[in-house]
Chain A
Amino acid sequence: MSSDSTISIVWIYPDLLSTYGDRGNLLILARRAALRGLPVRTLEVRSDQPLPTNADIYLLGGGEDGPQALAAQRLIADGGLHRAVAQGSVVFAVCAGYQLLGGAFFAKGTQYAGLDLLDFRSDRGPTRAVGELGGPIDPRLGLPPLTGFENHGGRTHLGPGVSPLARVSTGIGNDGTTEGAWRGKLLGTYSHGPALSRNPAIADLLLRWATGYDSLPPLDDTWSDRLRAERMAATAAS
């Protein structure tokens, strides 16, 4: 955590990367920290503002092709996220934001340089991947299965320096086999928008990474549990 004991969470460029409920991840992290009595400060940084480098958690959302390309250019020029990651900050990225973490991505038919924070590259797939996305998460993370919704035209090819977040049992994810990626305290997924609403255990993982605590007191997750059960039953039935 930063100098004081407050967990600071930065939502990067909501003016560019906020396509569909991306704010949810910020709200969910803040709430789950607050319910544990952990002080939280949230900050939304627009693309014409410098990115602070001393926050604990950085969030990247989804976006259309144009804004995604613009976000990449500004983040590379700003350099703040690279410095924050070098200092051990946590990054959680979804959809277009996830693609930004890799070495390259495609937008509007052109290849753009990514932030190169994780060892993968994205290109265009033969079809758009739209629908439920799910599967068992890397056992080293000790989390229950991923469940979410994806909507993207990209395919992501992981290099040896990064691990898939999950194996795909429903949907496409990276390439129909693996989904998402993680290394150190950086985690990305094609489960778009408010991905943490269906995966509160990932929210808690990010908070543990940010605080260094091995465990956090459990919360009443009745409604999340019902939502997860209902979604997993629906995808198993179809």
Chain B
Amino acid sequence: MPLRAKVASSVSRTAAALSRAAGRGDGSVIGGWIGLKIDPDLLAHLAAGRAIALISGTNGKTTTTRLAAAAVGVLGPVATNGFGANMPTGHTSALAKAGQTPYAVLEVDEHYLAKVLAATEPRVVALLNLSRDQLDRAKEVAMMAQLWRTALAEHPSVHVVANADDPMVVWAAAGSPAVTWFSAGQRWHDDSWVCPECGSPIERQADQWWCTGCSLRRPVPQWVVEDDGVVDPRGAWHKISLQLPGRVNLGNAATALAVAAQFGVRPTDAVSRLSTVASVAGRYAQVVRDGRNIRLLLAKNPASWLEAFDMADAAPTLLSINARDPDGLDTSWLFDVDFSPLRGRQVLITGDRAYDLAVRLEVNGVPFQHVRTFVEAVKLVPPGRLEVIANYTAFQDIRAELDRVL
């Protein structure tokens, strides 16, 4: 590594440590920010010589990154940005902090995939899904798929691991010479009714989908979720015992195994490591308070709300909605979510934008109680499980109230 990069890397680590010591967060952004100021090529220098996997998509990337890092860990130390700091500053900080590791698994914000591809020259890129997410500032779905497709075309040596169930992902990946397809299911279909190639309607029947106007259709996946396990490309079934809830996370586990396989990790060696993952940056964490077993689920956009309902038990449920900058300022998406799975459960609502949610639930025929604080909600439910589903800053607020559970 050039001297400038060494200095930058060292200062980056120091800044991250100082930030943590000062109680100003986990230091995963500030350290990288300072390092990149000193050496703009620091990320490329830190990436050189490592075998790297990038994980991107609208939903599930933090969890899949954590699972893939655990699976690749079979081979040795893995650098990873485990706290959801998924832009180049976060990658720089994670690699600087990890020191010399042969492997890295990095979560990448979907908007930054092209930039991080160029800087890190990864061995593998995993593409999970694309759906509407904070449209008041994010790129529209079709535009994002086009950006991915263009970026991948410039890196033909990268092996792509991609979700066969998402037409937008398939189209983005289809031009790449080496693709491994996995099937992780797709509950959310409302962003892929129109073919990104030719504009014709896309038809769906059971698991299959195809364009009615061109040749785009669901590729045959090599990795598939079946019952409570995953079938690998050789047809062998592996039981997956996760601490993380829901079928969604089985799909994430399948993706992690497919990524790890590109590093030579056999699924039989990796499955036991997947079950060691208990919570991911506070998500899925369980906390006991006043006899209530509280579980935290993050849901940022319509697709991830459907997944959260899949993960949650039929128990009293607190929903919390904010619309601050990191959440997106627009709450219109609430009407894209069908909350009817919550009927019959005790539902409480809170957050800055609880009234938007109240109107939505009323139209949805889901009775609810409005509470001002998290503590008030805990008092209103009987002892036992309390599921908490919140969007980004609402989730952070509740985590803060629970003393930064990790």
Contacts and interface: CB of A to CB of B under 8 A. Distances in A.
Interface in B320-369: 329-336, 355-356, 358-360, 362-364
Contacts of A23: 335-336
B288 interface: no
A16 B194 CA distance: 7
A43 interface: no
Contacts of A149: 136, 329-332
B240 to A, nearest CB: 35
Contacts of B356: 197, 227
A223 B355 contact: yes
A194 B201 contact: no
B332 A193 contact: yes
B363 A20 contact: no
A67 B194 contact: yes
Contacts of A130: 136-137, 329
A131 interface: yes
Given A19-B135, A66-B194, A46 B201 contact: yes
Contacts of B269: none
Contact of B201 (A15, A19, A22, A28): A15
B154 interface: no
B101 to A, nearest CB: 41
Size range of the chain B interface in the assembly: 20 to 34
Contacts of B329: 130-131, 149
Contact of B358 (A131, A151, A226): A226
A185 B362 CA distance: 28
Nearest to B355: A227
A63 to B, nearest CB: 9
B193 interface: yes
B140 interface: yes
A192 B356 CA distance: 15
A66 B136 CA distance: 18
Nearest to B336: A21
Nearest to A193: B332
B216 to A, nearest CB: 15
A128 to B, nearest CB: 9
B337 to A, nearest CB: 9
A24 B140 contact: no
Contact of A24 (B201, B330, B335): B335
B49 interface: no
Given A131-B329, A193-B332, A193-B335, A227 B201 contact: no
B193 A15 contact: yes
B201 A192 contact: no
A70 B190 CA distance: 17
Contact of A197 (B136, B199, B360): B360
Contacts of A192: 332
A230 B336 contact: no
A126 to B, nearest CB: 18
B73 to A, nearest CB: 40
Interface in B133-148: 135-137, 140-143
A37 to B, nearest CB: 17
A20 B142 contact: no
B132 interface: yes
A27 B356 CA distance: 15
A35 to B, nearest CB: 11
B194 A197 contact: no
A122 interface: no
User: A15, A46, A131: which has the most chain B beta carbons within 10 Å?
Assistant: A15
B201 A47 contact: yes
A21 B335 contact: yes
B201 A20 contact: no
Contacts of B201: 15, 46-48
A36 to B, nearest CB: 15
A2 interface: no
B355 A151 contact: no
Nearest to B368: A223
Nearest to A195: B332
Interface string B364-400: 1000000000000000000000000000000000000
Interface in A1-55: 15-16, 18-24, 27-28, 31, 46-48
A64 B140 contact: yes
29 contacts: A16-B193, A16-B194, A20-B132, A20-B333, A21-B332, A21-B335, A23-B336, A31-B363, A47-B201, A48-B212, A64-B141, A66-B142, A66-B199, A130-B136, A131-B329, A149-B329, A149-B331, A193-B335, A194-B332, A194-B335, A197-B356, A197-B360, A197-B363, A223-B355, A223-B358, A223-B359, A227-B356, A227-B359, A230-B355
Interface of A: 15-16, 18-24, 27-28, 31, 46-48, 64, 66-67, 70, 130-131, 149, 151, 192-194, 197-198, 223-224, 226-227, 230
Interface of B: 132, 135-137, 140-143, 190, 193-194, 199, 201, 212, 329-336, 355-356, 358-360, 362-364
Q: Which 7 A-B pairs have the closest CB atoms?
A: A193-B332, A24-B335, A21-B335, A21-B332, A227-B355, A15-B193, A223-B358
